[in-house]
Amino acid sequence: MKSPLAPGIRLITSFSRDTWYRYFTLFLTFLFYTAYHLSRKPISIVKSQLHRNCSTVIRPADLNITNNDTWCDWKPFDQDNYQTLFGVLDNCFLVAYAIGMFISGIFGERLPLRYYLSVGMLMSGLFTALFGLGFYWNIHSLGYYAFIQVMNGLMQTTGWPAVVACVGNWFGKGKRGFIMGVWNSHTSVGNILGSLIAGVFVSTAWGMSFIVPGLIIASTGILCFFFLVESQFLFITEEHICKHFTFKFNSATSNNNIRSKQHYFHDVLYPTQGVVEFSLCLLFAKLVSYTFLYWLPLYISNIAHFDAKQAGDMSTLFDAGGIVGGIMAGLVSDYTGGRATTCFIMLVAAAPMLFVYNSIGQRSLATTIGMLLLCGGLVNGPYALITTAVSADLGTHESLRGNSRALSTVTAIIDGTGSIGAALGPLLAGLISPTGWNNVFYMLISADVLACLFLFRLVYKEAQGWCGRARG
């Protein structure tokens, strides 16, 4: 008697080649951007090690040091203005990232995404590792670390427009919110892994907290070069391509539909399309999210008096909540068709939760865990939805008439604007935190409210659409 085909093989062969490439691309881009965020996270974990309470540290017997409360700190972060210096490092990265993002979308349109991503990840790995090598080379120059942060910020801009364009090339609008909500968990997964990896080395040799993530993202760059399939159109036959573009050209010519670059950018930026509102909303939403990204471990360490590793591990709960928040935001927005309304409601709920977290969040371990999960979901949910499904929707809007290359530019415009907020948040936190953490949270709550206000017109428009369908 013949043995039937194994069920696993039947399952594998039941999917078309197109389906395999689609989900393999989804997996690879998830892996790539996990590595991008993994390599950004160590700086927030290492801060509390660069400047710490030396009176609680056992001094080595061979060090004859007296009356020096900063002997265990890493110069130049041993001064009273250490929080300002940390803010400088954060902003060297984030300002470079914000500026580079607007340029990155243009390159992403014109270069093969596989090459662009591969080079970007290799260079990001190099500069991440160079920051850690400062520990072994005994470098105490703020200029060195600032330069590394600037270069790393520029290299990291290669990631987001390219991976969103890859996913947008393979997935239509049907369940884009849910799929991208799940896929966008790479941001939080990267933050969690980055925190855990950095935490392993932070108390013994903080340089490895950067070198290991640098090697990881460089390795994913090599993986990208050999395996990424950036678009399903790479598999369309030459004959099909000729017919497709001949038809499109003839249709466009007959309808006088050949547009200039000025018209193209008019369509991309036209306010009714929502790019402006979502971009400005993301500016303030990302301000809140990135302030937590860069300052939460230090806040937990200062307020709850955890050591560097414990504070880093605890901060991962915020990102874990962000995973659930991003998925829920995508699922709800798919079901309701209201991307702006979903973001608006989550942002409205986030403002009081931030106040509550600062007020009672450190009273007990259970309260800390619950508030971090809740705040992470409410803060990162809208941020995740805007940078993924909303960007893909706007980048493939019908007003662009099938120009798929516009997806990279639209994504860069939205995320580039948001990155201005990402740069402002940690900078303001560095300037405000010496006056008290309460003032930092008031700043975050104000930013959250402003993010809501920029969505009001779009929420009203979506509500009108729902009312119209209900009457019909």
State the number of CA atoms in the 13 A half-sphere of 238 facing the CB: 0
On the 0-12 / 13-18 / 19+ scale of CB atoms within 10 A, 260 is: exposed
> How confident is the model over 358-370, as a mean pLDDT?
86
Give yes or no for a contact between 330 and 177, defined as CB atoms under 8 angstroms apart. Answer: yes
CA distance 96 to 468: 45
Number of domains in the chain: 1
Asked whether residue 429 is domain-assigned, the answer is yes
Looking at 2-6, 10-14, 60-64, 94-98, which range is the least confident one? 60-64
The predicted-structure confidence for 17-47, as pLDDT tens digits, reads as follows 777 888 889 999 999 999 999 999 899 889 8
CA distance 162 to 121: 12
Instruction: Find the length of the chain.
Output: 472
**Within its chain, how far is the Cα of 418 from the centroid?**
10
* Domain CATH for 356: 1.20.1250.20
272: domain range?
A: 18-53+76-230+268-471
Asked whether residue 46 is domain-assigned, the answer is yes
The amino acid sitting at 204 is T
Asked whether residue 323 is domain-assigned, the answer is yes
Asked whether residue 413 is domain-assigned, the answer is yes
The predicted-structure confidence for 317-333, as pLDDT tens digits, reads as follows 998 999 999 999 988 98
Asked whether residue 352 is domain-assigned, the answer is yes
Q: Which phi and psi (to 5°) does residue 125 adopt?
A: -60, -40
Neighbouring C-beta atoms of residue 75, cutoff 10 Å: 13
The predicted-structure confidence for 231-283, as pLDDT tens digits, reads as follows 765 555 444 444 444 444 444 444 444 344 434 333 444 434 788 899 999 99
Residue 201: C-alpha distances to residues 54, 102, 211, 431, 472 (Å): 19, 35, 10, 28, 62
Asked whether residue 432 is domain-assigned, the answer is yes
CA distance 358 to 380: 17
- Residue 46 is inside which H or E element, if any? helix 42-50
Residue corresponding to tokens 């990001």: 124
Asked whether residue 402 is domain-assigned, the answer is yes
Asked whether residue 298 is domain-assigned, the answer is yes
Q: What's this model's pTM, rounded to 2 decimal places? A: 0.76
